A = this chain, B = another copy of it.
Amino acid sequence: MEFKHQATVTLAEVAEAAGVGESTVSRVLRNHGSFSGKTRERVMAAVERLGYVPNRIAGTLASTGSRLVAFVIPSLSNIVFPDVLRGASAVLEENRYQAVFSVTDYDPGKEEALAAAMLAWRPAAVMLAGCEHTEGTVKMLRASGCRVVELLDLDGDALDIAVGFSNRAAGRESAAFLLKRGYRRIGYVGHDLNRDTRAGKRFSSFCETLAAHDAPLVAREILPGASSVENGRLGLERLLARTTDLDAVYFSNDDMALGGYFHCLAKGIAIPSKLAIFGYNGLDIGRATPQPLSTIRTPRVATGEIAAQLVVTNAPPQAVDLGFELIEGATA
């Protein structure tokens, strides 16, 4: 089944070849402890000659402290989590940490199973999306004693470290912006909210804010499945078929919003005079459309970077609010 390693060079062989003890080789290789320059030369020469590659599995076991960081993320279908991974991996690589990942498909049960599998690797930290997890996940994570970092959502109690921003605030500010612009008959197009709890939080506080200003949500169209440009397009088409007098639509994210935008372009619906469009995420593509997308830009790469930084420095438990930026754009 798995690969059986063929005659790999071991540290003992390097020690033998260099004519020194094993621990000396270990010290030289990790540049830790003391050894003479001469010894160093001999060891490095032997390493070179034999083509020795240290075995970090063995090293980790012996030192009972790993440099693995485990990511348990909901999805790789859009750029959001790749952005987080990108930010984190840059920092982790600099610090000789190794990133491990698995994908939950927004399924809390799967999150629990995958987190358990991750823990078996004894990672230095487990990074998860958001702060809603099953009881089992929480219990297991707590018991593991490893660092836990919750990403991209600050609306809840952090287990250990949390890095991100408030999704509720994002929903609120989106609503406030549309109201300030004078829109009163507002609709919503979203993807499956039961699974994506962060989108759900944005939506509910969006609605609350509208209601508090006497302009309650007029209509909504929720599509099953993941967010996508095509679903955004389809959602807006359906929403407009049912509701003719909307003046603005809030989308669960930019992918969905771009779909809506394309629908308007295709149907000749004037934006924003006839219909305003507002998204979430602040994807680069939304800045290059003929009319820049009105949206909220989230610090995804920075979230990954900061999270990784806190882990490698073994920072104390804390919640880091990176905030977000409202992009006025030209579609609202």
Contacts and interface: CB of A to CB of B under 8 A. Distances in A.
Interface in A64-109: 64-67, 76-79, 81-83, 85-86, 89-90, 93, 96, 98-103
Interface residues of A, number: 76
B143 A51 contact: yes
B57 A61 contact: yes
Contact of A99 (B63, B82, B100, B144): B100
Interface stretch (A121-129, A188-196, A207-215, A317-325): A121-129
Contact of A145 (B5, B65, B93, B102): B5
Contact of A82 (B51, B79, B285): B79
A121 B67 contact: no
A103 B89 contact: yes
A233 B288 contact: yes
Nearest to A87: B76
Contact of A98 (B77, B117, B233): B117
Contacts of A143: 51
Given A5-B64, A65-B2, A120-B56, A229 B98 contact: no
A266 interface: yes
Interface stretch (A151-159, A165-173, A242-250, A257-265): A257-265
A120 B53 contact: yes
A146 B288 contact: no
How many monomers of this protein are in the complex?
Answer: 2
Which of A58, A101, A120 has the most CB atoms of chain B within a 10 A radius of its CB? A120
B53 A57 contact: no
Contacts of A55: 61, 120, 122
Interface string A111-147: 0001011111110110000000000000010011111
A1 B125 CA distance: 12
A76 B82 contact: yes
Interface in A1-53: 1-8, 51, 53
A78 B76 contact: no
A98 B76 contact: no
A3 B314 contact: yes
Nearest to A64: B5
Nearest to A93: B102
Contacts of A65: 1-5
Contact of A3 (B81, B125, B229): B125
B121 A6 contact: no
A5 B65 CA distance: 7
A288 B233 CA distance: 7
29 contacts: A2-B63, A3-B66, A3-B146, A5-B64, A5-B122, A8-B122, A8-B145, A53-B120, A55-B122, A56-B120, A57-B60, A57-B61, A57-B121, A61-B61, A76-B86, A76-B89, A78-B79, A89-B102, A93-B103, A98-B100, A98-B102, A98-B117, A229-B287, A230-B288, A258-B285, A258-B288, A259-B288, A265-B265, A285-B285
